[in-house]
Amino acid sequence: MPAWICATCANQYPDQEQPPGECLICSDERQWVPSSGQRWTTAAELASKGHRSDVREVEPGLLGVGVDPPVAIGQRALVIQTPEGNLLWDPPGFLDEHAIAAVRQAGGLRAVTASHPHFYATIVEWSHAFGAEILLPEADAHWLTRPDPAVRTWSGSAQVLPGVTLVQCGGHFPGSAVAHWAAGAGGAGVLLAGDTIFVTPGEDRVTFVWSAPNRLPLPEPAVRGVVDAVRPYRFDRIYGGWWQPVVRAGAREILESSASRYIDFLRGDAAVG
Ligand SMILES: [Zn+2]
Ligand SMILES: [Zn+2]
């Protein structure tokens, strides 16, 4: 029996004969169900349609693992490599032997995690492939649609490996997180941000959303909460949930100025016209 995969968000459900009636993730107001109705797929069907893992070095010590063509929301994972072991962040909707072999060659995985429930996707399969623990924020752990005994919860912040810290920011989801990687960007520091901090196409701004597909903004206290949560950390670069866009440099100033501009719009203080 297959693990059913929601075709819209790529989250997985336990092995059972029939798929569930609806996807917990997509029936939430932050996601969406196709007007033609809920659709399910399986890993075998995705492979037969030609999806393949796409592995790239993103910067020294950071491996990207995506899918070509992309599946569902289309996020690519990032694997932070350290001498003490590796962390996989934001797993995509599909993995194959090529991806597993590439990550094994990079030193395997100590832990797997994600910025938020939209990107849990293949998290359980990655955990099984490497015997890695699944780190979920306490506040969002109930969103994991394929429960597994390898789950360990955290809240506030959690140092996963030396120089690698998960930081709960809230906003998009109560447990929405970033991963801070102190050695990234040549030692200037990196945030892996998923949907917690959205990088915009010009790579010179970031934004915040409660729902991306439904274009619902984040209220001011939540925006301030995200910025306050990351302020203690040194960083100069932000990776969002996809290969591109990336805020390559000056990310701290860009985060502060983007948040302030966003709040001007929320309050009606921005001059528009
Ligand atoms: Zn779904
Ligand atoms: Zn999301």
Crossing angle of helices 97-105 and 123-130, in 10° steps, is 50
User: Ligand 2 mean position to 236 CA, how many Å?
Assistant: 23
Given a contact cutoff of 8 angstroms between Cβ atoms, the answer to whether 190 and 112 are in contact is: no
Q: What is the pLDDT of residues 159-218, one digit of tens each?
A: 999 999 999 999 999 999 999 999 999 999 999 999 999 999 999 999 999 999 999 999
**What is the number of structural domains in the chain?**
1
Count of Cβ atoms closer than 10 Å to residue 62 Cβ: 21
- Closest ligand, as measured to the CA of 212: 2
Residue 221 lies in a domain: yes
Q: What is the structure's pLDDT at 55?
A: 98
User: Ligand 1 mean position to 3 CA, how many Å?
Assistant: 13
Residue list, CB under 5 A from ion ligand 1: 6, 8-9, 23, 25-26
- Range of the structural domain that residue 210 is part of: 3-15+53-267
Residue 111, strand partner residues: 87, 133
CA dihedral 150, 86, 176, 174 (to 10 degrees): 30
- Overall average pLDDT of the 107-121 stretch: 98
Residue 111 lies in a domain: yes
Q: What is the pLDDT of residues 223-233, one digit of tens each?
A: 999 999 999 99
The whole-angstrom distance between residue 55's C-alpha and the CA centroid of its chain comes to: 17
Residue 45 lies in a domain: no
- 144 Cβ neighbours under 8 A, 6+ residues apart: 117, 120, 123, 124, 134, 136, 151
User: Ligand 2 mean position to 229 CA, how many Å?
Assistant: 18
Residue 189 lies in a domain: yes
Residue 146 lies in a domain: yes
User: Ligand 2 mean position to 176 CA, how many Å?
Assistant: 9
Question: Does the pLDDT at position 1 exceed 90?
Answer: no
Residue 230 lies in a domain: yes
Q: Look at residues 210, 207, 255, 204 and name the one whose alpha carbon lies nearest to residue 229.
A: 255
- Closest ligand, as measured to the CA of 10: 1
User: Ligand 2 mean position to 273 CA, how many Å?
Assistant: 31
Give the predicted TM-score (pTM) of the model. 0.97
User: Ligand 1 mean position to 142 CA, how many Å?
Assistant: 15
Q: What is the pLDDT of residues 50-105, one digit of tens each?
A: 999 999 999 999 999 999 999 999 999 999 999 999 999 999 999 999 999 999 99
User: Ligand 2 mean position to 31 CA, how many Å?
Assistant: 8
User: Ligand 1 mean position to 164 CA, how many Å?
Assistant: 30
Q: What is the structure's pLDDT at 51?
A: 98
Q: What is the pLDDT of residues 16-46, one digit of tens each?
A: 899 999 999 999 999 999 999 999 999 999 9
Residue 43 lies in a domain: no
Q: What is the structure's pLDDT at 272?
A: 86
Domain with residue 121: its CATH number is 3.60.15.10
Residue 222 lies in a domain: yes
User: Ligand 1 mean position to 34 CA, how many Å?
Assistant: 10
